[in-house]
Amino acid sequence: MIVLVKLLGIVIVVMGVVYLLKPEVLKQYIAFWAKDKRLFAGAIVSAILGAILLFAASQCRIQWIVTVIGLWAILKGILILLLGKEKMVSMIKAWQKKPAKTIRAMSFVAIIMGALLIFAA
């Protein structure tokens, strides 16, 4: 399970670096999730990844970091389902209008979260 936590951390760091260097990629990525039933699939994937993190937390060096990020992922999945497609699509459209500087700043958050997962595992 620790390997999964580290792998997820690496994926998050890589995605953060890509978004930092090319903010338009994030806009394309979030546009992908706004179509059809992908939004709900993304919510389920987020909740599953959160559950995996929670199960793996007891085996990690810094359990509370992995637990918090796992709970955050589960909460994200639940909120997406509760808010519904129309509200989420409007939020996605708002994100697509954000300037590159804002996206780059949020990319640092992703890089830090991924690095924390790697370190905590």
* pLDDT tens digits, 65-114: 999 999 999 999 999 999 988 888 888 888 888 898 999 999 999 999 99
73 within 8 A of 50, measured Cβ to Cβ: yes
Report the C-alpha gap between 117 and 72 in whole angstroms: 13
The model's pTM: 0.86
* pLDDT tens digits, 12-26: 999 999 999 999 998
Question: What's the total number of domains in the chain?
Answer: 1
pLDDT band at 1 (very low <50, low <70, confident <90, very high): confident
For residue 92, give its domain range. 2-120
Write the burial class of residue 104 (CB in 10 Å: 0-12 exposed, 13-18 middle, 19+ buried): middle
